[in-house]
Amino acid sequence: MPDAAVALAEPPEEVEAARAVLSDLRRARRRQRTRDFDPFEALYRVYITAILSGIVIWLASGITGDTKVPAATAAHVAAHDAQWVGLVVAVAWAVGLRSGGQGGPLAIEAADVRHVLLAPVERSVALRPVAIRQLRFAALVGSGVGAVAGLLAFRRLPGGFPAWVVAGAAVGLLVMPSSLSLAMLVSGRRLGRYVGGGLALVVLAWAVVDLVTHVTTSPTTFLGQLALWPLRTRLTALIGVAVSLAAVAAGLTLVPGSSLEAAERRATLVGQIRFAATLRDLRTVMVLRRQLSQELPRRRPWFRLPRAGRWPAWRRGWHGILRFPALRLARLAVLGAGAGAACVGIWRGTAPLVIVAGLCMYVAGLDAGEALAQEIDHPDRRETYDLANGELEVRLLAPSVAVMAAVAAVGVVTAYLVSGATPLAAELGGVMFIPCALTGLAGATISVVQGAPANFSSATSALLPPEANGFRAIFRMVWPPAVAIIGFLPLFAARHLQPGQGTRVGRVAGLQPLILILVVLVAVWVRYRDDIHAWFAKTMEEAKAAQRPAGPQR
């Protein structure tokens, strides 16, 4: 053993020296990474990103339309819509504050936590460059999203193209980094999840008060004024700018105080989430995200089921649901409300909101189908049951249907209120809420049951040409949310009903059997998919054997 080992470390004497060491470390790592750099893969990623961005912009264009609004409407927007933009800003800030309470937003590698943050190097030297990199990226994304939003606003509202794009980009440039900085501020001060969550609620409530009372007091509303500068230039918008910049400065100042415990937890989970997202493994992403936000099942259920009872799968499902944390229940309610509000938007003519409504129910279905997902997560345990996998899975879905019905009921109430308490909203909701709950759950169930995509050497994939495999991969990704969206399509039939074709409620009710057939087909697929796969594999094997040339005769 070298005798110099036992001696107090002498950390790099100057901050600059430590910075140089870290800089060398990053340079060496970059060198190693660029050895494996594949320019074609990078170009492919750019290509995919461009296509996806184009699709998003196209969908967003569909939502906003492209005819200029009347002058009166433009005046109304200039007078009141800063509050709406402010609410969006408040949501972004609330997300940041909540993330900070959970130890975010820095995503430091696990090895950096162990080797750099445990070394006698000032945390400011170790963490601030990471924070600046994240802020830089957030600024880039924010300004891009803001510019697109400005572009869409330009198509409907008076004002010059450059003015709208610049105003949108400026707001995005401020909002995303300030949201990230608020997270750094909360985590750097170690304020904890309750304070972080509480501050998030305060920011949201303040923005809602501004919206409801038509006043401008919240910094988020002031920032909203900046977005509408092409319509009306108000210098008070600079208050929002100043607050955002102050948040960035405070975040960067305080970020060295972040907890290592949270950093290490995030280091492991963020890496896993990215990997699972790359594989399009939605279930894993969801489980890891819950761990990241420490969304754990309750140790004590909301209430206990009676001890005795038959139907173990039904009881197992309820045991899990009764341990849902309050946060998950609140999320389910918000998703239900989101679906309901989107339905009102569809009825008023914004057709693409059907995607929002479907996605709300799909995501709710992913939460509600937890019991089934748990069994899928533990295939070894499942194999020990004296019951076909498919049969167990279908039985486990029954309690989830009840949860989804409750989520959809929240949607109906929301639609009724948002529509101005019209009886038609309640009648349509009454007819549609169960089928929409079922299609949401069906879509989520397909996602969970199919799991991560199989590799291309699997029996089915090997038989398909590469182009077909690409389509198959996209189909796998798109089909589950599409099932959830299909549940809302009868709304269009009712909306476009011509006089003399019956009642709107009757039209929607008449289409429900088709929706229910789809749900039944999904249930049958879940129940018998193992048998179908086995039959398919056997058939393929027999076909291959028949095509194989006979060997030499002995």
Give min distance, CB of 334 to other proteins, in A: 24
* Number of residues this chain uses to bind other proteins (CB under 8 A): 40
2 in contact with other proteins (CB under 8 A): yes
Q: Which residue has the tokens 């006979």?
A: 550
Contact partners, residue 475, CB within 8 Å, separation at least 6: none
Contact between 33 and other proteins by CB under 8 A: the answer reads: yes
409 binds other proteins (CB under 8 A): no
What does DSSP assign to residue 5?
G
- Angle at which helix 353-368 crosses helix 326-347, to 10 degrees, equals 160
Segment near other proteins (CB under 8 A); pick from 114-122, 453-461, 463-471, 527-535: 114-122
Closest CB to other proteins among 299 and 304? 299
Based on CB atoms, which residue is closest to other proteins, 260 or 405? 260
Note whether 530 binds other proteins by CB under 8 A. Answer: no
Among 10, 380, 383, 467, which residue sits at the site for other proteins (rule: CB under 8 A)?
Answer: 10
Site membership for other proteins, residue 37 (CB under 8 A):
no
Asked whether position 115 contacts other proteins by CB under 8 A, the answer is yes
Pick 7 or 421: Cβ nearer other proteins: 7
Site residues for other proteins, 455-514, by CB under 8 A, read: none
Applying CB under 8 A, among 92, 116, 254, 431 the residue interacting with other proteins is: 116
Among 43, 52, 118, 454, binds other proteins (CB under 8 A): 118
C-alpha closest to that of 106 among 96, 92, 94, 116? 96
Given the rule CB under 8 A, which of 193-201, 257-265, 322-330, 466-474 is the region that contacts other proteins?
Answer: 257-265
Between 6 and 308, whose beta carbon lies closer to other proteins? 6
Task: Pick one of 32, 278, 457, 498: the residue that binds other proteins (CB under 8 A).
Answer: 32
- Are the C-beta atoms of 102 and 207 separated by less than 8 Å? no
Residue 65 region, left (φ>0) first, then alpha (ψ -120 to 50), else beta?
A: left
The answer to whether 110 contacts other proteins (rule: CB under 8 A) is yes
Say whether residue 119 binds other proteins (CB under 8 A).
Answer: yes
User: Which are the contacts of 351, defined by CB distance < 8 A and separation ≥ 6?
Assistant: 62, 492
323 interacts with other proteins by CB under 8 A: no
Whose CA is closest to 154, among 163, 141, 144? 163
Q: Check residue 11 for interaction with other proteins (CB under 8 A).
A: yes
Does the protein bind other proteins through residue 38 (CB under 8 A)?
A: no
Cβ atoms within 10 Å of 10's Cβ, excluding its own: 7
Residues 121-160, mask of contacts with other proteins (x by CB under 8 A)? xx--------------------------------------
Q: Smallest Cα–Cα separation from 362: which of 486, 481, 524?
A: 481
Q: Is 12 in the site for other proteins (CB under 8 A)?
A: yes
- In the complex with other proteins, the residue whose CB is nearer, 291 or 512, is 291
Cβ 124 to other proteins shortest distance, Å: 11
DSSP 207-261: HHHHHHHT---SHHHHHHHHHTTTT---TTHHHHHHHHHHHHHHHHHHGGG--HH
Cβ 281 to other proteins shortest distance, Å: 21
Q: Is 259 in the site for other proteins (CB under 8 A)?
A: yes
Q: How far is the CB of 49 from other proteins (least distance, A)?
A: 24
State in angstroms the smallest separation of the CB of 322 from other proteins.
18
Could you tell me which residues come within 8 angstroms of residue 510 by beta carbon, excluding any fewer than 6 positions away? none
Among residue numbers 285 through 314, which ones bind other proteins (CB under 8 A)? 299
CB 230 within 8 A of CB 157: yes
Decide if residue 394 touches other proteins (CB under 8 A). no
User: Residues 50-70, buried b or exposed e (16+ Cβ, 10 A)?
Assistant: eeeeeeeeeeeeeebeeeeee
CA distances from 340 to 347, 360, 442, 523, 528 (A): 11, 9, 19, 25, 33
Residue 1 binds other proteins, judged by CB under 8 A: yes
Q: d(Cα 175, Cα 139) in Å, to the nearest integer? A: 8
By CB neighbour count within 10 A (0-12 exposed, 13-18 middle, 19+ buried), where does 391 fall? Answer: middle
Binding site for other proteins (CB under 8 A): 1-13, 18, 21-22, 24-25, 28-29, 32-33, 109-111, 113-116, 118-122, 190, 259-261, 264, 299
